Structure 1
Amino acid sequence: MKKLSIALLLTLMIGCNPAIFKSKWTKEIAPESYFTRFETTKGSFDIEVKRKWSPKAADRFYQLVKYKYFDNGVFYRVVPEFVAQFGNSDTTTTKAWNKSKIPDEKVILGNEKGTLSFARGGKETRTTDLYINLQDNSRLDTLNYNDVVGFPAFGKVIQGMDVVTEIYSGYGGSSAQKTDVLYTDRKKYFEEFPKLDVIQKVYFINEK
């Protein structure tokens, strides 16, 4: 029985890991519209994505979901009445995806409450980390940050926004200031920030 339990545990652990990265994944094109479900420690919510809002962003998000990048991800920066930002703490996987940058695009869908957008730090730096707007943040539509104007949204929460607003925000931006620890020692990071919510899995669902 003990051997069986260990074998089962190993199987479950392997099944939860992201697939081994392949550069060809970054060339895949998403459907013109699709829906995803986030299952988190706070509950579930659904997001609708349309390529017309930000084609390159929609493609990258599609790729990340398809290859389970966000499974076991962390809402590491949740600022009340602003944004809930999330990513993955697997250093090897993240570095691989980060080598493929997403070209900058103009804002078509603004940063309304419930919309989803990639975080970035300058020209063509959108890669893997995203945020959900917790309120209308229209200033992000025209904000000139490191010579790039606006943060284009490409999806929006269509069900479960009440879950999103309940994601733990008590650490504010302090937990984001120590993401170097998250990437090197996840256990230690959660010892310091034990209340952060986690993404259990993200997957595609049929149109409602």
Structure 2
Amino acid sequence: MPIMTCRLSWMRRGLLALAFVLPAAAAAACGEAPDRGSAEPRDPLLRPAQFTETAPPRFAVRFETTAGEFVVEVRREWAPIGADRFYNLVQAGYYDDTRIYRVVPGFMAQFGIHGDPFIHRAWARALLRDDPVVESNSRGRVTFAKAGPNSRTAEVFISTVENARLDADGFAPFGEVVEGMEVVDAFHAGYGDGPPRGEGPYAAMAHARGNEYLDEEYPELTRIIRAVVVDAEG
């Protein structure tokens, strides 16, 4: 039906453009990172290049959130480059204390903006090559967000419906929710999509100000308390 086609079209455009706002927008809003002083230890997450460990063939990640817990099983064979990045991000604690900032009912839930804008900016520049699409974006599948070819960084989304139409756009799932999909369905969705389609968080502001902005303007967002690897196949 034409209405459905139109709706899916803007959703796909949102994934390719608005949702994963250009790293340059955040950089422009922040300016150059100031010198934090030699006496203050640098957070290892400010150096994405050091996180290059190869992921196990299969591993599980348990997410503890303010809505409950869910488990993602990652299969490296589905998307090796994406699986390696996700494994390193989880092991480094990147997703701890982050917000599930974009929840679009009938579409997906997205997270991965770090609470510290300096760390987010560092990873926004650590672009990944695309993986071939091996598995479809069906309900429960977990996929990296991207703004175009070879532009994946740290933001991911969970499909909450069948999103096979995203396959042709190069969104390659690397895992799926195997426990707690009811928790994913319960993520706070009251703010809607981001501007101009809804009243939800403006991604560029979230990139520039991190949790300060999200907590101040959108206090009801579901929060990720921590994410840990709980099972890994050797």
TM-score, normalised by the number of residues in structure 2: 0.74
Checking the alignment, whether the CA contact within 8 Å between 2:73 and 2:176 is kept in structure 1 is yes
Checking the alignment, whether the CA contact within 8 Å between 1:107 and 1:151 is kept in structure 2 is yes
Distance (Å, rounded) in 1 between the aligned partners of 2:130 and 2:140: 21
Q: Which has the higher strand share?
A: 1
Equivalent in the alignment of 1:63: 88
Checking the alignment, whether the CA contact within 8 Å between 1:19 and 1:68 is kept in structure 2 is no
Equivalent in the alignment of 2:186: 166
Equivalent in the alignment of 2:164: 138
Checking the alignment, whether the CA contact within 8 Å between 1:82 and 1:135 is kept in structure 2 is yes
Equivalent in the alignment of 2:53: 28
Cα distance 1:182–1:104, how it changes in 2: closer, same or farther (>3 A)? closer
Shift of 1:100: 2.0
Equivalent in the alignment of 1:195: 220
Q: Helix, strand or coil for the counterpart of 2:101?
A: strand
C-alpha deviations, 1:121-149, integer Å up to 9, x for none? 01211001000001110100113xxxxxx
Equivalent in the alignment of 2:76: 51
Checking the alignment, whether the CA contact within 8 Å between 2:121 and 2:207 is kept in structure 1 is no
Q: Helix, strand or coil for the counterpart of 2:216?
A: helix
Checking the alignment, whether the CA contact within 8 Å between 1:72 and 1:201 is kept in structure 2 is yes
- Superposition CA RMSD, Å: 2.0
C-alpha deviations, 1:137-172, integer Å up to 9, x for none? 0100113xxxxxx20000000000000000011111
Shift of 1:26: 3.3
Cα distance 1:168–1:179, how it changes in 2: closer, same or farther (>3 A)? farther
Q: Give aligned-pair identity as a percent.
A: 37
Distance (Å, rounded) in 1 between the aligned partners of 2:209 and 2:56: 35
Structure 2, gaps ≥5 residues long: 1-42, 195-199
Q: Write out aligned runs for 1:1-208 (5 A).
A: 19-87=44-112, 88-143=114-169, 150-174=170-194, 175-181=200-206, 183-184=208-209, 186-206=211-231
Aligned-partner residue type, residue 131 of structure 1:
F
Distance (Å, rounded) in 1 between the aligned partners of 2:150 and 2:160: 24
Structure 1, gaps ≥5 residues long: 1-17, 144-149
Q: Helix, strand or coil for the counterpart of 1:109?
A: coil
Q: Helix, strand or coil for the counterpart of 2:51?
A: helix
Q: Helix, strand or coil for the counterpart of 1:34?
A: strand
Answer with 173-182 or 95-104: which moved more: 173-182
Checking the alignment, whether the CA contact within 8 Å between 2:117 and 2:210 is kept in structure 1 is no
Cα distance 1:22–1:165, how it changes in 2: closer, same or farther (>3 A)? same
TM-score, normalised by the number of residues in structure 1: 0.82
